[in-house]
Amino acid sequence: MNAFLERLTSENAAVLLVDHQVGLFTGVRDITVNELKHNVVGLAKAAQALGVPVIHTTTAATSMWGPSIPELLAVLPESQEIHDRSTVNAWHDERVRAAVRATGATKLIIAGISLEVCAAFPAMAALADGYQTYVAVDASGTFSATKREAGIARMQQAGVIVSDYATLMVEILGDNAREVAGEVYGALDMDFGTLLGQVVASYQK
């Protein structure tokens, strides 16, 4: 069976957030800054609600690209370790690989700035190391439409699965009867799902 056909679950998945840093956000052109912030924050919140481990990494945070955006830091635990590195490819940092290994995950959901480097490079490298890798393209950003198109094409050629962040999280949710469903949909800004459920329930009484 193709490993990518096996459903994402809280037990087999981890999320890797790569370089959502203030300096890099200033160059993003393929998605609005507000939408990108919304999406990566939603991804982080939904993953935590689902019990999916989140690994957080930056590059040259004290010099070149600055800290992670405050909106992301605000939703991650204060104890969350940030792996700041010098390598272009996050997967080439042993601490990042060790953090992923420690989760026990076999499937890795990645988002990063820039899409064609910070998300694509570790996605392809982790794939080569035996992980099934997914990139949340709308929780990633880059500096031109051409870079976005080329990055997505290269990942697909390599065998990385590309998707939007909400679909990946809903796949992990799996069942709307789970107690965390309302929290997950809230993290995805789909509160209307919970509201509609309440309306339907009231009519069924």
Question: Has residue 187 been placed in a domain?
Answer: no
Distance CA 52, CA 135 (A): 15
- Quick check: helix, strand or coil at residue 183? helix
Question: Has residue 182 been placed in a domain?
Answer: no
- Number of structural domains the chain divides into: 1
How sure is the predictor about 197, in pLDDT bands with cuts at 50, 70 and 90? low
- Domain harbouring 25, CATH code: 3.40.50.850
Distance CA 42, CA 1 (A): 31
- Cα 130 to its chain centre, rounded Å, is 19
Q: What is the pTM of this model?
A: 0.92
Give me the active site residues, please.
118
59-117, pLDDT tens digit by residue? 999 999 999 999 999 999 999 999 999 999 999 999 999 999 999 999 999 999 999 99
pLDDT at 144 over 50: yes
Domain span holding position 74:
11-175
Question: Has residue 5 been placed in a domain?
Answer: no
- Find the helix or strand (DSSP H, E) in which 84 lies: strand 82-85
